[in-house]
């Protein structure tokens, strides 16, 4: 069974803090993704990576950065957290480039105060 | 870029009744199509997918979907719903290219009423 794990289920941070969200997958997938999910907006892609040390901006990259030093791990970084980054963050992984299934982690619910 | 429209944001339905959740996408070029389900406080789980072949796709938990290329639709159906089907459902389209980017709809909240 594919397993995608995220380092925290719930996180509370203060405005201005640097926040790290970690995602690990165990299926040797080339592609990894970070989304944020907000009510009424569905899932919006923040960043994705199709290889180690490679990254591509998604639809809403502003205020975020990513790191992929190893194939199985993809980190999302909020350089200076703001209240409008309060959201559910979902990590996913999948094989590429055929467009096959993405497998999701359980999500991290981040509250920025 | 693709866009995905889920026409109903909320669908209430009585237990054991049939349900259809609608999904339309923007492009008529070859795409892959997916339905995911999200139970409260969980990540997304794949229900079914269309890559090629038969336009009627069967998935888990008794769900099925029909790909209609001329109408650029991929509606999800279940003949008889259960209380446990109460969840958020997302339609997605993927663009077969390096990076395998997915485009998601805004979701449909299905509530099954006892």
Domains of chain A: residue spans and CATH? 4-8+17-96 (2.60.40.10)
Average of per-residue pLDDT values in chain B: 91
Structure tokens, A72? 């199985």
pLDDT at A12: 97
pLDDT band at B42 (very low <50, low <70, confident <90, very high): confident
Structure tokens, A54? 């490679």
Is residue B105's pLDDT more than 60?
yes
Is residue B28's pLDDT more than 70?
no
Q: Would you call A99 and B97 a contact, using CB atoms and an 8 Å cutoff?
A: yes
pLDDT at B73: 94
Residue-wise pLDDT tens digits, B45-95? 999 999 888 899 999 999 999 999 889 999 999 999 999 999 999 999 987
Alpha-carbon torsion (A34, A2, B77, B80), positive or negative = negative
Nearest CA in chain B to A4: B43
pLDDT at A10: 95
Residue-wise pLDDT tens digits, A46-70? 999 988 988 999 989 999 999 999 9
Is residue A15's pLDDT more than 60?
yes
CB atoms within 10 A of CB A71: 16
Q: Would you call B43 and A106 a contact, using CB atoms and an 8 Å cutoff?
A: yes
- A97 to chain B nearest CA, in Å? 4
Q: What residues of B are in contact with residue A9 (Cβ under 8 Å)? A: 41
* Interior angle at CA B76, CA B9 and CA B45, nearest 5: 80
Q: Would you call B32 and A99 a contact, using CB atoms and an 8 Å cutoff?
A: yes
Q: Would you call B106 and A107 a contact, using CB atoms and an 8 Å cutoff?
A: no
Q: All domains of chain B, ordered by start, with CATH?
A: 4-113 (2.60.40.10)
Of B102, B99, B111, B114, nearest in space to B36 by CA: B102
pLDDT at A99: 54
For the ranges A8-12, A75-79, B11-15, B48-52, the lowest mean pLDDT is seen at B48-52
Binding-face residues of A in 10-49 toward B, CB within 8 A: 31, 33, 35, 40-45, 48
pLDDT at B100: 62
Nearest CA in chain B to A29: B99
pLDDT at A30: 87
Cα end-to-end span (Å), chain A: 37
Is residue A92's pLDDT more than 80?
yes
pLDDT band at A97 (very low <50, low <70, confident <90, very high): low
> Which candidate from B49, B101, B104 shows the least CB-CB separation from A42?
B104
Of A77, A68, A81, nearest in space to A32 by CA: A68
What DSSP string describes B36-90? Answer: EEE-TTS-EEEEEEE-SS-SEEE-GGG-EEEEETTTTEEEEEESS--GGG-EEEE
Is residue B23's pLDDT more than 80?
yes
């Amino acid at each position: 069974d594919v397993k995608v794990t995220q380092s925290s289920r719930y996180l509370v941070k203060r405005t201005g803090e640097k926040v790290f969200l970690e995602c690990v997958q165990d299926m040797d997938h080339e592609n990894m993704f970070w989304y944020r999910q907000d009510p009424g907006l569905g899932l919006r892609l923040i960043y994705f990576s199709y290889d180690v040390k490679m990254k591509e901006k998604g639809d809403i990259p502003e205020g975020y950065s990513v790191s992929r030093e190893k194939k199985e791990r993809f980190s999302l970084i909020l350089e200076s957290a703001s209240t409008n980054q309060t959201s559910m963050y979902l990590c996913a992984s999948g094989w590429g480039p055929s467009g096959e299934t993405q497998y999701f982690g359980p999500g991290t619910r981040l509250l920025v105060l | 870029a693709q866009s995905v429209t889920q026409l109903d944001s909320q669908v209430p339905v009585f237990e054991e009744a049939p349900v259809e959740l609608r999904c339309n996408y923007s492009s008529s070029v070859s795409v892959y199509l997916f339905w995911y389900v999200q139970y409260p406080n969980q990540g997304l789980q794949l229900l079914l997918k269309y890559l090629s072949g038969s336009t009627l796709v069967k998935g888990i938990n008794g769900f099925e979907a029909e790909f209609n290329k001329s109408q650029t639709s991929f509606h999800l159906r279940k003949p008889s719903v259960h209380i446990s089907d109460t969840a958020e459902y997302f339609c997605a389209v993927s663009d077969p290219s390096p990076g395998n980017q997915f485009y998601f709809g805004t979701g449909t909240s299905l509530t099954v009423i006892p």
